[in-house]
Amino acid sequence: MEDSKLKTQKPQKTSRYLPPAVRIFALGGLGEIGKNMYGIEYKNEIILIDAGLKFPDAHMNGVDYIIPNITYLLDKPQKIKALFLTHGHEDHIGAIPYLLRHLSFPIYGGALTIGLVKAKLEEHKLTNSVDVHIIQDHERVSFQHLSVHFFRTIHSIPDAFGIVVDTPYGSIVHTGDFKFDMTPEGKTADLHKMMQLGEKGVLALLSDSTNSEREGQSLSERTVSKSVLELIQQCEGRILFATFASNVHRLQQVIHAASECNRRILILGRSMEKIFSIGQELGHLNIPQGMLMDMKEIHTVPHHQVIILCTGSQGEPNAALTRIAAGSHRHVQIFPGDTVVFSSSPIPGNVIQVNRSIDMLMRSGAAVLYGAEYEIHTSGHGSREDLKLMILTMRPKYFIPIHGEYRMLVSHQKLAEQVGIPSNRIFVLNNGEPLLITKYHARKGRNLPSRSSFVIRGKVESHEPELIDERNRLAKDGVLIAALVLNHETCQMISGPDLFSRGFVYIRDASELMKTAESHLKSALYGLEQKKEARCIIWEHKISEVLQNFFYSQLQRTPVIFSSIHSVSHPNQVRTTKQ
């Protein structure tokens, strides 16, 4: 079969005469930022790579987290051999506790990654039931048909790895989140092994697309380290330094600068405290004795000797800096002369919250430093030149852009074409859309279940969107309840209809409107009384129809309408048919 026909070929039914295919699929991470989860399946074995979560958008009322839909895996739990983790960010490990409620598998990852996973499992009381392993650079984990090995990469968190899955048809490489940094903080990337993989031959490359629209190369951590030191040297008052808690390199840079400038550090934020504990235990953070402050010292140590290292760089509602900016933190307030540093770039969707925090901090008298001009943050994701280098190094037969919104995947696709990958060997997939690869060809397969699941108050809820849609409408339009009492035998209204509103109109200003609506509804229901209509569902439909038409004619909008109809047979008996 010609390569030009591969991408348009329709999925076919599996035949006993066709060779078994390697199935590559994503349950999250394609067409979105977050909840990364990928699978590689061959015969009776499935290798999982990452299991992350995504934080909800502002319109997802009541949702704590969004996680991958694992329906496909629930149908074949015996096939799952292990979960391999590229690194320890929440969008790659955050869903693990929720998956382990339904599935059982060993977990492999770098030392810091496993440390973060263990802490997460302890929170969910799952430590005794999970088998975890710390991987080494040149380790290989083998199964009957598939084997897995690793190569070290550079990211914004230590112990980041690319993952190689060897299959009967060749090696599948998952880059993880990466960039090329020739002057990194910490260990360097294993360029030698990457080159060896490319020379041997890579069947398929799954590569990080986050910065595929950004020209050039990502800023080196060594440059950021210098900028952080210079900035802290220039500040005269107290410094509040906000960054991602997981950015251990940045934390160490602040520790070094604090030591150079004779400052002490106060840690604020639960996740920041956790990463300090784990990072120090594993040797990723080197903290001079006596540098860390207790909260009780905040009012006794001179301001020019203090750095408050805190969460909240993304404007998260409950993060330390957000509460400080709003004036609601119990112990820390902003004083004129304070300098607040945002060492981060806003994640898509967080820009409004971040700007709100910056405004409040400035109103309180703080100087706020943010943006690329200060060179106090660099992305952990490679820009276009980094991505080109990865493709040229690996020289894959097939290329699959992953980890990014759809436009990022398409941008990465075009980049791959520029460096020589034939367009018919590049597959831009959706979540749940598998790629089937054999010795001779590749084609898309039938879609797997892929709608997201929601974590609501700690419980995993249905992945159907109707619940969120209803909550959004309730929040947007408000609620109107029509209550009335019927004589069950005569079908006459004994009382009502009475209207009660929440979040629709302000009752004090709309009392006349509500009285008019009640009168209008009562007149409209007169016909049902005359027909002696006893079926409450007919009354409910009529109530909804009348009120929707009335309020739309008056206000050009309608609330969510509920009916509360009580049917009374005799004075001592009340039957509630709907509330």
**Alpha helical stretches, state H, 145-218:** 191-200
Which residues is 396 bridged to in the sheet?
Answer: 202
What count of other Cβ atoms lies within 10 Å of the Cβ of residue 510? Answer: 16
Residue 519: burial class (beta carbons within 10 Å; 0-12, 13-18, 19+): exposed
Residue ranges with strand state E in 175-298: 202-208, 239-242, 264-268
Structure tokens at 409: 């995947």
* Centroid of chain to Cα 43: 31
190 carries an active-site annotation? no
Question: Which residue among 87, 174, 381, 412 is the active-site one?
Answer: 381
Does residue 403 contact residue 175 with C-beta atoms inside 8 Å? Answer: no
End-to-end CA gap in the chain: 63
Question: Which residue among 208, 338, 377, 386 is the active-site one?
Answer: 208
Residue 403: φ, ψ to 5° = 55, 70
Buried b (16+ CB within 10 A) or exposed e, 268-300: bbebbebbbebbeebebbebeeeebbeeeebee
208 carries an active-site annotation? yes
Structure tokens at 83: 């979960």
In sequence order, the 6+-apart residues with CB closer than 8 A to the CB of 294 are: 266
Structure tokens at 133: 């392993």
In sequence order, the 6+-apart residues with CB closer than 8 A to the CB of 531 are: 491
Buried b (16+ CB within 10 A) or exposed e, 5-41: ebeeeeeeeeeeeeeebbbbbbbbbbbbbbbbbbbbb
Does residue 233 contact residue 261 with C-beta atoms inside 8 Å? Answer: yes
Which residues is 515 bridged to in the sheet?
Answer: none
| Residues 396, 397, 398, 400, Cα dihedral to 10° | 0
Q: Annotated active-site positions, please?
A: 208, 381
